[in-house]
Amino acid sequence: MSDVYIIGAGIHPFGRTDHRSGREQGVFAVRQALDDAGLEWSDIECAYGGSAASGAADIMVNELGLTGLPFINVANGCATGGSSLASAQYAVGSGAYDLALATGFDKHDRGAFNADPKTYGLPEWYGQTGMMLTTQFFALKIQRYMQLHGISRRTLGLVAEKAFRNGARTDHAWRRSEVDLDTILNAPMINDPLTKYMFCSPAEGGVALILASEKKMRELGADGVKIANIAVRTRPPNSFEVFQPAISVQEGGKPTVLASKAAFEGAGIGPEDVDVAQLQDTESGAEIMHMAENGFCKDGDQEQWLAEGRTELNGKLPVNTDGGCLACGEPIGASGLRQIYENVQQLRGRGGARQVPGQPKVGYSHVYGAPGLAAVAILER
Amino acid sequence: MSVLTPIAEDLWTNEAEPRLIGGKLASGTIVFPMPAGDAAEGVERYPLARKGTLWSFTRQDFRPKSPYEGPGETPQDFVPYLIGYVELPGEVIVESLIVDAKLEELKLGMPMELVIVPFNSQHTTFAFRPERAA
């Protein structure tokens, strides 16, 4: 497969936008990405996109123009964005097309996601008795992890404090105010040990990325960032995932570990080469565990990393530079592509008040979601 | 007062000291709950151990949306409840409500035992509680 570049990136601000549907936010992002790349909609040769709750992406042609292009709807839960990007990369990397669009958008109701046992192949009693909540899974996973690996509640708070500090510097973030550590730690508990400031909320937003072959990028004189590798993996046997009435006593693998290893191998680099990372932070504990699952540190080292500020904007490995899901919220179809958008901006040196210093060359992004899947993308300048 | 019925049929055994009903796959792996329908083919009904150790835990501090059918009607009369995973040695790690304990008392590895408890005005359900010294 030949090299593929991201030459245009657009985003509709995350959060709440009452006057625009999810799809309209997606269209907004596509127009911005076209402007960024100096292209017209009629130039785009194929498109991939989707949402979890805002309908099919191919309806966007009504607003964008009836150019007759092939537009593939992607419905892959939390990996919708990652899968759209991977598909667009294959389309261009195979040589079939020179210009492709990957887009994702969503608009969710307030409050925790509401799961129906039947759609997950689970018995009714599991939901009736109050055990089928995503927030509980994250709390149960980090509770055990903290006790086994010596992570403190204060460190959970530091992750959230950093997220809101970065969000305050980010135009597309939802939460634009800093929140101090004491407020985070003393806020109402959702599921012990996680307080309300440590969880992200369902939200709205849209992202669009335009992919080009190297030849096309040079022809256009575009400002491109290379896709070094993308890996999407579903769960291996005996893993511990969201919505499980029981877990195997055999310790299994993790989809994040598999996707991370595959992406690093494919890119021919290692964790030490990464300059900026966006890691799935559905809640504070997820960012901590994902630092280790993606190979950036050993289990337990996060306590020291956070205390020393190593994941701050000016640290050794800045993590979630736009405030991540905690500050941006989580519109499922757009969330994974927001991470890519942020890395594209950072590698182009367009991060503004949140720009990582020292001209970062390698950007890493990781998304995790139900029912146990992970997608990793590595970008290079 | 009406008699409470189990939240689901065949979730635990009907005996003096009830056991959760799991399944044993052809590979020997133990699963919970016992699979239903076509997925039950070749799976042996396998009552699980009544005692195990606490694998992880948390407290549910807000009232879940539907399909939750716990006691009370509104966010105001909601009482937070404990849940966790209990490892039944050599068998499987089961998610469960936890009763007769406070959050502060829970610790990884503590001995736990199965009990059947009232759940709402109609049903009983299964739960684990810290094992009591005999």
DSSP string, B40-74: GTTPEEEEPPSEEEEEEEEEE-S---TT---S-SS
CA distance A200 to A197: 8
pLDDT band at A112 (very low <50, low <70, confident <90, very high): low
Which of A129, A249, A250 to mutate: most B Cβ within 10 Å?
A129
Look at residue A271 and tell me whether its pLDDT is greater than 80. yes
Mean pLDDT of A275-282: 97
The answer to whether A248 and B29 have CB atoms below 8 angstroms apart is: yes
Per-residue pLDDT tens digits for A352-381: 999 999 999 999 999 998 778 999 999 999
Mean pLDDT of A190-201: 96
Q: Tell me what pLDDT residue A115 has.
A: 79
**Least CB–CB distance from B68: residue in A130, A141, A244:** A130
Q: Tell me the pTM.
A: 0.94
A160 in reach of chain B (CB within 8 A) = no
Q: Which of A351, A55, A77, A374 is nearest to A231 (CA)?
A: A374
Q: Tell me what pLDDT residue A59 has.
A: 96
Q: Tell me what pLDDT residue A346 has.
A: 98
CA distance A5 to A99: 10
Mean pLDDT of A150-172: 98
CA distance B93 to B77: 31
Q: Tell me what pLDDT residue B1 has.
A: 52
A100 by DSSP, 3-state: which?
A: strand
**Is the Cα torsion angle B90, B91, B93, B95 positive or negative in sign?**
negative
Look at residue A158 and tell me whether its pLDDT is greater than 70. yes
Look at residue B132 and tell me whether its pLDDT is greater than 90. no
Contact across the interface for A131 and B83, Cβ inside 8 Å: yes
**Is the Cα torsion angle A258, A281, A371, A190 positive or negative in sign?**
positive
Look at residue B134 and tell me whether its pLDDT is greater than 80. no
A38 in the Ramachandran plot: left (φ > 0), alpha (ψ -120 to 50) or beta? left
Q: In B, which residues are within 8 Å of A143 by CB distance?
A: 56-58
CA distance A319 to A327: 13
Q: Which of A313, A274, A277, A276 is nearest to A169 (CA)?
A: A313
Neighbours of B133 (CB within 10 A): 5
Contact across the interface for A130 and B70, Cβ inside 8 Å: yes
Higher-confidence residue: A120 or B40? B40
Q: Tell me what pLDDT residue A113 has.
A: 66
The interface pTM score, or ipTM, of the predicted complex is 0.96
CA distance A191 to A140: 9
